[in-house]
Amino acid sequence: MDSKKTIIDYPKQAIKLIRPLITDYKKEHLMGIYLDSRYKVIKKELISLGIVDSHIVHPREVFKPAIINSASFIVLLHNHPSENVIPTNEDIEITKMLVKAGKILGIQLLDHIIFCKKVKEYCSFKVNKQL
């Protein structure tokens, strides 16, 4: 799949694009998909690699690739090794913080998607109206 021509407009498309990049489902991977103003993929990147039950997220690390690549939008994805895709309180708070940072920078967080190894299970903040 040529990421330069891929348009992301559904959570399943984003997961399909990121899933091959996950190296170990026993650790949390925070991934970013960076999009241009027409929702075309500019870059996909591993932002942070955590441990079994947590990872460290800082707005600087999330938005740095967006700024470098002149992205207009970001879709964040991370896996839950627990196989439970329900957002934790930490997931919700981090997402709120990143939405605020994005408003300041003029780079919109389109979605934050939590998924697991099971192909059909995921939680989209956008679909669930949590963004």
**Domain at 11-124, CATH class:** alpha beta
As a whole number, mean pLDDT of residues 56-76 equals 94
Domain ranges of the chain: 11-124
Listed in order, strand segments (DSSP E) in the chain are 29-35, 41-49, 73-79, 108-115, 122-124
As a whole number, mean pLDDT of residues 40-48 equals 93
Residue 73 scores a pLDDT above 80: yes
Listed residue (113, 108, 109, 116) closest to 125, CA to CA: 113
Q: Are 61 and 10 in contact (CB under 8 A)?
A: no
Which tens digit of pLDDT belongs to each residue from 3-22? Answer: 456 766 778 889 888 888 88
Give the Cα-Cα-Cα angle 49, 115, 71 (nearest 5 degrees): 65
Crossing angle (nearest 10°) for helices 59-68 and 89-105: 40
Altogether, the residues listed in the chain come to a count of 131
